[in-house]
Structures are given as C-alpha cells and as structure tokens.
C-alpha cells in the first residue's frame, strides 16, 4: 500500500465517523483496523502493533467516545495519547558525568551513521562550551578513520587515532589522553557490526569494560523495518544500551522503529539526526514522533486548539441549524470568528490529516478576503443577515458603501453563501460529500 | 564453495530465524484453516513484506490451495514458495551490459552499502574477464573516494576520482571519456548517498544520467538502487522517488547476512515492478551474487 494513500484512508474513515452523530463499536473497530495498518506501514513491530491496538480499542469503546460530539477526533486523540504515553512524554537528556570526562560510546549496524553522528554529538556539546575528544575505533572499514578525522576537523573536535591496536586499547589510551589534556568529553566511534557477529560483539564488551562509559548509545537508521527490535534487543542484552540515536529522520520515513524500541527494549531515544549538515542533531521529542508515526500531522495540537475555540453549546446549536437548514449569515459570521480564534487558515489546514501540500494547492486561503467578508456581513442589518434573499440592488449598494467594498464583492459573497447553503442541505448525506471536494471555500 | 552453497550459508542466519518459524508453524497445524493464514500473515509482515503484498501472497496461496485441493499443511509451504517466486520473477532479473562500454550507476540513501557493493561488483566483473573502470562520484562524504580507491586496488581495476567537493557530474564525464579512450568494457559509477526527499540532490542524479546518455548514446545502462535488507516500508518510497529521477532498472539487496529478511523486495517487485539483480550475503569481496529468485526463496524455506 502506498505511503501517502494510507494517510488519506485514515482520514476517510474518520470522515465517515465525522458524518455520524455517534459511533458504534464496529465503527471503532474499523477505524482501529486502519490505525493498525498505519502503524505497520510505519514499520512499528508487528507484536507491538497488536498489543497497542488491543489497548486502544478497549479505551475507545468506552462510553466517552460513543457519546462524544466529535467521535472521530476522540478516537484520534486516544490513539495519539496512547502513543505518546508509550513513547514517554518528556525529551530524554543525555547524562553528563559529574566527574569529567563524560564518556559516550556509539555502536550499531553498518551504515547506521555512527561516524557522522559522532561528529554531530561533538558539535552539539561544543556549542554548549564543552571540549570533546573523538576516538576512532573503526579499524575495519576502509577509510573510516580518515572520515572521522575529516568530520572531526569540520566540527572543530580533536580526533584520537592509534595504528595497529585493538579498539579496547585505543579507547583506553584515548581516555588517559583525554584526562591528561583536560578534555571534558570522550566520544568513541566503533565499527559497524552485525548483532549476531559474536567476535565483534565481544570487541564492544572489551571496549566497554576498559573505559566504563558514562552512556552507551545505539545508533539506528530510522528507516529500519521489523528487524529493529532484534537489533536493539541483541545490543542491549549483550552490551547494554542507555538510549538510542535515530538517524536520517529528515527523510520521509515514519520511524516506527522508535516506538518498537521504546515498547520492547524500554529504552528512550536521545537524539535524532535531521540532515546532512553536522549541526543537524536534535534532542528527540517523543510527542512529535507520535503523530509522525501515525502520519497525521500535528493532529493533537489541532484538537486542543479546536476545543479551546469551539464552545460546545454553540457547536450543538450549529449542528441543529445545519440539520434544520436555518443556517444564516449570522451563523456564518459566528463560525468565521471562531475559526479566526484558532489561528490562520493555512496553519489550521496544514495541521489536518491528509492535507499535504498537494491538497492545499486547490484551496485558496486569503486572510484579507476573510476580513472583507466580515466587513460586508457586519454592514448588513439583522434582518438581511437572517434572510439574504431580501437583499435587493439598493441594499447591496448600501452594504458595499458601508463596508468599503464594491458591488461585485458583495454579489460574490452572496452567491457563495447561496452555494454554501445548498451544500449544507446535502450535508446530512455523506454520500454527497465527494462532490464538494473541489469547491472553493466561501471565505 | 558453489554459488548456491554460498547463498545458503550467507542466508543461514536469516533462514534460521524465518524458516525455523515456518517449519514449526506448519508442523503445529493439523489442518489448513484461517488461523494458519493469520500466522502466515504475521510471519510475512515480520519479514518486512508489507501489508498489501502480504495480502496478495496469501490470496494467491488460498486460491492455489483451493484449486489443488491441498489439505496437508506441510504442502502449503511449497505453495507459498511458488507464489513468492512468481512475484519475484515477474520482471527480468538479468543484467544488460553488452555494449562496450556499458555503464552501471549505483544510487541509494546514505549508509546502505553503495561503495562496498561497487567494490564487490568490480571484483565480480573483473573476475569474469571484463575491463572495469570505477568512477568515484561520491564527492560529498568525507573519505568516500579513498574507500573506493582501496576497493579498486583489491579488485585490480582502474578508478577515476576528483577531489572532495568536486562536481560529481564532472567525475562521471571524465570516467566515461576515459572508458572510451582506454577501451574499458564497463564503467561503474558511485554516487553520494542521499535521501530521496531532497529535491536538489535528486536533480543532481538526473544530471549524471543525462551526461551518460549524451556521452554514450545507445550504450547499455543499468541504474541500480541499493537497498539495505534491514530497511522497512520506506524502501517503497525510496524506489518510487529514485525511479522518478533516474529511471531505475534494478535493485541490489545488501546486508542479508544479518537477521533482517529483506522481504520488502518482494513488495517492490509487486508494486514497483523493479527486479532484484544482485544480493549481498556477506562482508567479503566476493559475497555479492546475481539474484536468482528460486535460490533466494529456496534458501529461505529449505
């Protein structure tokens, strides 16, 4: 299944839910099936997904959701909350040893990005005024030492190398060198290895025993699939890891591996690599990752904003009016003002699931137009707002003059409102919704 | 060691994880029911095959089981192999590099093993008597050209390289010219690892392809995407976007000697119609082999 269409599918199910006043147990199950799919496509481990879905379904079938006015949002919220809960809420911070130097050891599979990440970690701490020493322990890959020297120089960190020595000895001597020369941080780059390569895993144990690192980080490619769990588990069981660093997160991977590691190994993610440049390293924010894994934009923020802005009673009244088809220009104005409270239209639209750049292209959002519309409606009498059909030519002229707009603009608004009313008449029938996909918003 | 043995030994660990489970699974069932298919679904998804392709495989399997009236769960295993083989064989797996010179361009995201794969490929093709020339087109990553240089020495072939930060297009241009002058059979071009979402970097690749087309019109050209076997469903996006800017002709699956199954290639053959051409089953210089689906699937299940 294609990556982007899944986000859409999830959106579609929730749209279906949105169309209904209440959701049944089977609706929740259908939505959860798609959440399951989304998680699998995001490479979250199959067992973690199964467990997750069982728990989320149980929560979602509770009465709160079924009675809720906006069940779709509630379902998303429950899923998101549970994801965040599993991922941890606060960003994890790397531990600094009270007695310098702080020693970090990085390890991982081939090609995970250890050497680059070492330089990035060095840069991260140089910016905080620390003086790190990089240690080249990858004695196998051709030109790996050279690579560390080059990136070390680029970030302004010294690189410790030793020829014809075992990695454990190199690290030990590097540590002595660091203490003697007042480095307050030592970052050890190790060779990439398979977690099932006993000989090379023993080498890591030797390094660890020799230098007793403050923290051991597993460097993991964020595009890793189901195997992420095996890798993290093996490294943790054999060497012991304190946290993981996720690399290459600047691509479009959803990074489900982050969730699997958290759920199966119970270890946090400390940093994430966000680009090719050596200062593209960030602390990892679990809450942001939750919506990325679901592929839903910043849905939670949107929900929070919506709940702040929309007064529930007003929302009920609005729903009534739409159903009874008594929606007038007053309500329209009201709704517009509430929308304004939530932030700019672009901002809101960009937070909606399935609203990627492609979808946004067709929507014309003009903040000025919004203000103009407000002025026009405010220049109408109450009676005019309730019954727009009484607005004749002379009334139009007066409204245009009063709002500082032109006759054409008043006409355009009235026409759009008329279209909108027609649209609302069909609102109760979700089958008709598709027809309005390309319709320009009336404001 | 023969090819098949090498493949099997490289895949042994992969096989142990996967095949053991398959065998236990089949022997645990006394009849073919939905529960068996559900277990198979889990197995395939855990192998990174992806949901859609898993469904397709299981639908095919269900149909075959019904058509042939199979009732013994142990026979389902062979049917499963057949269905997967069919998907892998939908597209031609052979390399087309018959013109002199012909070109292989190796592309992929960071850290999948492009440079190592090229080193192994150079060894493979010099081994069968071709005159190979390497182009160090990764001018971005620190020490990438040095790494390729070491591989060129191991494979005993020539290499064209520029300084770090040079225009990769210029490196490729020089390599193609050198190949014409020196009468090389095959130019293998390395490129810098790049995420498929970076537009300008993908444009750079498109430019490299244009240079090759202009300088060697009519030459055979293989554009291979290197995929790390540990990669999950993001591989689908990678293949799509690399294909858009370069016109991929095949895949190389690396790092199959770990516990990852590389099942996503089945998904790619299914949805993107891009064949697998090589697989990497170890870290030695001759651990890269042409892909043969029957062997690949057989090594997984037998």
The average pLDDT across A408-426 equals: 81
A321 and A272 within one domain: no
Q: How close, in Å, is residue A253 to chain B by CA atoms?
A: 6
Task: Tell me the residues of chain A between 215 and 244 that have a Cβ less than 8 Å away from chain B.
Answer: 221, 223-228, 230-231
Residue A443 lies in a domain: no
B272 and B212 within one domain: yes
We report the CATH number of the domain holding residue A388 as: 1.10.260.30
| Domain limit, last residue, from B24, B58, B88 | B88
A206 and A116 within one domain: yes
Q: How far apart are CA A371 and CA A138, in angstroms?
A: 62
User: Which has the higher per-residue pLDDT, A226 or A353?
Assistant: A226
Taking contacts as CB-CB distances below 8 angstroms, the residues of chain A near B259 are 195-196, 227, 230-231
**Percent residues over pLDDT 90 in chain B:** 64
A398 and A316 within one domain: yes
Q: How far apart are CA A327 and CA A385, in angstroms?
A: 10
We report the CATH number of the domain holding residue A25 as: 1.20.120.140
B237 and B127 within one domain: yes
Cβ distance of A150 and B142 shorter than 8 Å: yes
Cβ distance of A151 and B230 shorter than 8 Å: no
B112 and B200 within one domain: yes
Cβ distance of A221 and B230 shorter than 8 Å: yes
We report the CATH number of the domain holding residue A194 as: 3.40.50.300
- Is residue B185 less than 8 Å (CB to CB) from chain A? no
A192 and A43 within one domain: no
B202 and B74 within one domain: no
Residue A405 lies in a domain: yes
B109 and B13 within one domain: no
For chain A, give the mean pLDDT: 81
Taking contacts as CB-CB distances below 8 angstroms, the residues of chain B near A237 are none
Residue B197 lies in a domain: yes
What's the pLDDT tens digit per position in A356-405? 444 444 444 566 777 888 899 999 998 898 888 899 999 999 999 999 99
We report the CATH number of the domain holding residue B10 as: 1.20.120.140
Per-residue pLDDT band at A183 (split at 50, 70, 90): very high
Asked if the model's pLDDT at residue B95 lies above 70, the reply is: yes
CB atoms within 10 A of CB A26: 8
A194 and A132 within one domain: yes
Residue A329 main-chain phi, psi, to 5 deg: -65, -25
Give how many domains chain A has, as a whole number: 3
Q: How far apart are CA B179 and CA B158, in angstroms?
A: 10
Q: What is the dihedral of CA A154, A158, A161, A167, to 10 degrees?
A: -100
Chain B nearest-CA residue for A234: B259
Residue A179 lies in a domain: yes
A319 and A290 within one domain: no
We report the CATH number of the domain holding residue B169 as: 3.40.50.300
Residues 6+ apart with CB under 8 A from A126: A132, A155, A156, A157
B161 and B193 within one domain: yes
What tokens were used for A185? 């941080």
Cβ distance of B111 and A196 shorter than 8 Å: no
Range of the domain at A413: 303-436
Q: How far apart are CA A17 and CA A31, in angstroms?
A: 9
Q: How far apart are CA B293 and CA B298, in angstroms?
A: 8
Residue B97 lies in a domain: no
Chain A nearest-CA residue for B164: A150
What tokens were used for B40? 């198979």
What tokens were used for B251? 């895949």
Least Cα distance to B265 among B239, B300, B288, B246 occurs for B239
Taking contacts as CB-CB distances below 8 angstroms, the residues of chain A near B20 are none
Residue B300 lies in a domain: no
Asked if the model's pLDDT at residue B10 lies above 70, the reply is: no
A265 and A226 within one domain: yes
Taking contacts as CB-CB distances below 8 angstroms, the residues of chain A near B17 are 230
Q: How far apart are CA A357 and CA A298, in angstroms?
A: 15
A115 and A61 within one domain: no
Residue A14: what pLDDT? 61
Q: Which of B143, B194, B197 to mutate to test the interface with A (most CBs of A within 10 A)?
A: B143
Residue B55 lies in a domain: yes
B114 and B84 within one domain: no
Asked if the model's pLDDT at residue B170 lies above 50, the reply is: yes
The average pLDDT across B165-171 equals: 95
User: Looking at the predicted complex, does its ipTM rise above 0.90?
Assistant: no
Residue A441 lies in a domain: no
Counting every residue written for chain A, the total comes to 443
Residue B297 lies in a domain: no
Asked if the model's pLDDT at residue A129 lies above 80, the reply is: yes
Asked if the model's pLDDT at residue A5 lies above 50, the reply is: no
B28 and B149 within one domain: no
Residue B112 lies in a domain: yes
Q: How close, in Å, is residue A90 to chain B by CA atoms?
A: 27
A64 and A22 within one domain: yes
Cβ distance of A42 and B233 shorter than 8 Å: yes
| Domain limit, last residue, from A63, A87, A111 | A87
What is the side-by-side strand order in the sheet with B250-254?
B158-160, B132-135, B186-189, B102-107, B221-228, B250-254, B276-280, B288-290
Per-residue pLDDT band at B21 (split at 50, 70, 90): low
Residue B22: what pLDDT? 65
Task: Tell me the residues of chain A between 259 and 288 that have a Cβ less than 8 Å away from chain B.
Answer: 276
Range of the domain at B181: 102-290
CB B141 within 8 A of CB B194: no
What's the pLDDT tens digit per position in B106-116? 999 999 999 99
Q: How far apart are CA B179 and CA A185, in angstroms?
A: 49
Least Cα distance to B135 among B107, B108, B100, B109 occurs for B107
CB B107 within 8 A of CB B207: no
Residue A442 lies in a domain: no
Residue A94 lies in a domain: no
Least Cα distance to A185 among A167, A204, A158 occurs for A158
Q: How close, in Å, is residue A251 to chain B by CA atoms?
A: 6
Residue B156 lies in a domain: yes
Residue B253 lies in a domain: yes
A327 and A249 within one domain: no
Q: Who among B51, B143, B258 is closest to A196 (CB)?
A: B258
């Amino acid at each position: 299944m294609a990556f982007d269409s899944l986000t859409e599918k999830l959106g579609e199910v929730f749209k279906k839910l949105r169309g209904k006043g209440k959701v049944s147990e089977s609706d929740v199950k259908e939505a959860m099936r798609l959440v399951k799919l989304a998680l699998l496509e995001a490479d979250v481990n199959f067992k973690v997904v199964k467990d997750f879905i069982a728990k989320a379904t149980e929560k979602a079938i509770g009465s709160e959701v079924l009675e809720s006015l906006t069940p779709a949002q509630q379902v998303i919220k429950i899923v998101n909350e549970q994801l965040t809960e599993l991922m941890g809420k606060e960003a994890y911070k790397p531990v600094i040893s009270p007695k310098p130097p702080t020693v970090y050891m990085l390890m991982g599979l081939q090609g995970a990005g250890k050497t680059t990440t070492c330089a990035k970690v060095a840069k991260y701490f140089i910016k905080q005024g620390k003086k790190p020493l990089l240690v080249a322990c990858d004695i196998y890959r051709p030109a790996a030492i050279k690579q560390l020297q080059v990136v070390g120089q680029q970030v302004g960190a010294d690189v410790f190398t030793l020829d014809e020595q075992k990695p454990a000895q190199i690290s030990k001597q590097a540590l002595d060198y660091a203490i003697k020369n007042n480095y307050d941080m030592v970052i050890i780059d190790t060779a990439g290895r398979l977690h099932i390569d006993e000989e090379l895993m023993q080498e890591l144990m030797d390094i660890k025993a020799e230098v007793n690192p403050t923290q051991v980080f597993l460097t993991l490619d964020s595009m890793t699939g189901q195997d992420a769990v095996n890798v993290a588990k093996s490294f943790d069981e054999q060497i012991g890891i304190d946290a993981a660093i996720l690399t290459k997160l600047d691509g479009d991977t959803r990074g489900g591996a982050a969730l699997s590691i958290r759920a199966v190994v119970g270890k946090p993610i400390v940093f994430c690599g966000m680009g090719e440049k050596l200062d593209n390293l960030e602390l990892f924010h679990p809450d942001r990752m939750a919506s990325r894994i679901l592929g839903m934009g910043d849905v939670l923020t949107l929900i929070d904003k919506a709940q702040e802005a929309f007064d529930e009673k007003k929302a009920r009244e609005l729903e009534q009016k739409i159903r009874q088809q008594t929606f007038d220009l007053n309500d329209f104005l009201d709704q517009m003002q509430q929308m304004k409270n939530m932030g700019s239209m672009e901002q809101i639209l960009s937070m909606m699931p399935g609203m990627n750049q492609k979808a946004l292209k067709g929507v014309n959002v003009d903040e000025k137009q919004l203000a103009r519309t407000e002025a026009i409606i405010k220049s109408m009498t109450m009676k005019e707002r309730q019954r727009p059909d009484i607005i004749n030519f002379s009334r139009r002229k007066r409204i245009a003059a009063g709002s500082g707009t032109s006759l054409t603009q008043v006409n355009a608004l009235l026409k759009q409102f008329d279209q909108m009313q027609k649209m609302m008449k069909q609102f109760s029938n979700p089958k008709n919704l598709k027809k309005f996909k390309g319709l320009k918003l009336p404001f | 060691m023969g090819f098949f043995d090498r493949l099997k030994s490289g895949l042994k660990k992969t096989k142990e994880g996967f095949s053991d489970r398959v065998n236990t699974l089949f022997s645990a069932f006394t009849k073919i029911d939905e529960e068996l298919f559900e277990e198979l679904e889990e197995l395939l998804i855990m192998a990174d095959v992806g949901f859609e392709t898993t469904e397709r495989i299981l639908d095919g399997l269900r149909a075959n089981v019904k058509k042939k009236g199979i009732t013994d769960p142990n026979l389902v295993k062979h049917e499963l192999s057949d269905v997967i083989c069919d998907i892998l064989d939908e597209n031609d797996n052979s390399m087309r590099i018959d013109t002199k010179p012909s070109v292989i361009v190796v592309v992929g995201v960071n850290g999948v093993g492009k440079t190592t794969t090229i080193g192994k490929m150079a060894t493979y093709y010099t081994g069968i008597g071709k005159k190979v020339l390497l182009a160090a087109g990764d001018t971005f990553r620190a020490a990438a050209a040095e790494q390729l240089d070491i591989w060129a020495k191991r494979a005993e072939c020539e290499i064209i390289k520029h300084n770090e930060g040079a225009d990769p297009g210029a490196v490729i241009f020089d390599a193609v010219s050198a190949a014409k002058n020196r009468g090389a059979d095959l130019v293998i071009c390395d490129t810098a690892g790049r995420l498929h979402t970076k537009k300008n970097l993908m444009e750079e690749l498109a430019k490299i392809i244009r240079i090759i087309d202009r300088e060697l019109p009519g030459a055979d050209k293989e554009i291979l995407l290197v995929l790390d076997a540990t990669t999950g469903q993001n591989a689908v996006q990678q293949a799509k976007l690399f294909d858009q800017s370069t016109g991929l002709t095949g895949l190389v699956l690396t790092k199959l000697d770990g516990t990852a199954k590389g099942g996503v290639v089945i998904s790619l053959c299914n949805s993107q119609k891009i064949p697998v051409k090589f697989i990497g089953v170890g870290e030695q210089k001759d651990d890269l082999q042409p892909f043969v689906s029957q062997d690949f699937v057989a090594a997984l299940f037998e």
